[in-house]
Structure formats: structure tokens, C-alpha cells
Structure 1
Amino acid sequence: MTGAADGAVAGDRISVRGLRARGRHGVLPAERELGQEFVLDVTLFLDTSPAAAADDLTKTVHYGELAEDLVKVVEGEPVDLIETLAQRLADVCLARERVTAAEVSVHKPAAPIPLPFDDVVVTITRSRA
């Protein structure tokens, strides 16, 4: 493992888990009309050593601001598929200059499935080209 003095650490991550927001995503008219809760888990991959060395928030990702931006996407323009929503959320993560990759999970615990189930989750991983 590489230390701060040696350069980037590939395994550095910042995660926000269980972020909740109400959205109107789905293919059924009732989903668009009534909306439902979505739960997000996001992991950012980046080198945190510059922030740690300088104890400087500007050298990392402000996870509070990130959470607010992610919620705006969920509460915003509806899409049919949670795969599309996950991609939009990954784009928000990758817009942060220091983020090299992001893993985004979108949970849809109230999905319209007429059988007992715990959750529906779509997880994607995206990185800079």
C-alpha cells in the first residue's frame, strides 16, 4: 500500500450510505403520479492523501454538498428506469474533479412487484475515460 509521501492510494474511498429522497421514477403511471422513496449508496474513489496532509476540505470531496446534489437528481426530472437514474447520479459524482471512479447503488424498496421482497437495487460503477 502506498502512503501519502509515496503518492496516490488506489483504495481510498468516501461513501455515503442510506441517503433517502423521494422521486417519481418508474414506468407505471402511479409511480410518476404518487412518487416513492429511493435510497442511495454512493462510493467515490479518489486519492485522499492531499486532503489528509493539508487537513484541507478543498483537497477532497465535500460529502454534504455531494449528498445535496444527489438528492436534487432524485427529486428532479423523472426517468423510466433506475438504471438511467443511477447513471445520472454517477455523472454527478464524476463531476467532482478529484473523483476517479464512482459506484452508485439505487434502491427501490417500494417497487411495484406483486410478491413479497425486501428491495430492488441497481448498482453501477463508472470511471473517468
Structure 2
Amino acid sequence: MSIASARLGIRHVFLRDMVLSASIGIYPHEHAARQRVRINVDLGVEDEAARAGVAVGADELGRVVSYEKVADSVRSIATAGHTRLVETMAERIAESCLADPRVRSVRVKVEKLDIFPDAESAGVEIERLRG
């Protein structure tokens, strides 16, 4: 899966394998105890330097999408109250990422890690595009 593209002027910003304790699920036992979820986020971000054909841009935080802010947002969404569906959590994360107008696309994967004893995980992956 390639997201970065000099031709399209897109930078790939990502967050890999963030594991959090979340209140998530539709069953009564899932309301009673938090469970581990693994979250991955991939962003396609406008890259002005690539679009202009410049190899190296200015070293300024203000011109990039901060993966720290993405991580903070993911933590906030995943730990804020109970969410019934992994799909809902993924949609909320995608929406928060698309709030930055430089983000052109977002792919979010949310996995429950302790749901089945014979599977590493179960979950959902979504992709959303601006406009």
C-alpha cells in the first residue's frame, strides 16, 4: 500500500500499532470491562514541497501534520466513554483527522485484541477521502 506520491504531492503520515484500553462492544460483559484495541492510522497529506518539485522543504512544524496531535486525538476518542462498534470508533478517528484541511485521505484500522482465543484480532479498516 503506497500512499506517498511526489507526482500527486502527497506525504504519508502514519501512526502504527497504538494499543489502548477502551470501553467498546455491544455485549453486557464488554460494558463492564475495558479491552485492548490496536489502532493504525494512515494519512495522505498535501506535500507542498513535492508538488513544487523541491527535494527538501523548510524545517518548520507549522507546515506539517503532527503525528503527535493525531496520537493525542486517537487516545482521546478511544478512551472517551463507551463505544458500541469498532466501526464507530474508526469513523470518529477518521473525522478528527480530516478536520485538518491538509489531510486528503485517511485510512483507520481498529482491532479488538482479546475478542477470540484462537485469533490475534478482529476489527475493521476504513478509508475516507476529503470531498
TM-score range relative to shorter protein: 0.7 to 0.9
CA RMSD of aligned residues (A): 1.9
Residue 99 of structure 2 corresponds to 95
1:85 equivalent among 84, 89, 94: 89
Q: Deviations over 1:28-81 (max 9, x none)?
A: 111111111111100000123449512111111111121011111000132211
Paired AA for residue 126 in structure 2: I
Paired AA for residue 38 in structure 1: V
Paired AA for residue 121 in structure 2: D
Q: Secondary structure at the match of 2:24?
A: coil
- Structure 2, unaligned runs of 5 or more: 51-55
- More strand per residue: 2
For residues 13 and 121 of structure 1, what CA distance do their matches in structure 2 show? 23
For residues 76 and 20 of structure 2, what CA distance do their matches in structure 1 show? 9
Residues 19-38 of structure 1 correspond to what in structure 2 (within 5 A)?
19-38=18-37
- Structure 1, unaligned runs of 5 or more: none
Runs of 4+ in 1 over 4 A off after TM superposition: none
TM-score normalized by the length of structure 2:
0.84
Q: Secondary structure at the match of 1:61?
A: coil
1:26 and 1:80 in contact (8 A); partners too: yes
The alignment-based identity, stated in percent, is 26
For residues 21 and 6 of structure 2, what CA distance do their matches in structure 1 show? 41
Residue 9 of structure 1 corresponds to 9
TM-score normalized by the length of structure 1:
0.85
For residues 108 and 70 of structure 2, what CA distance do their matches in structure 1 show? 13
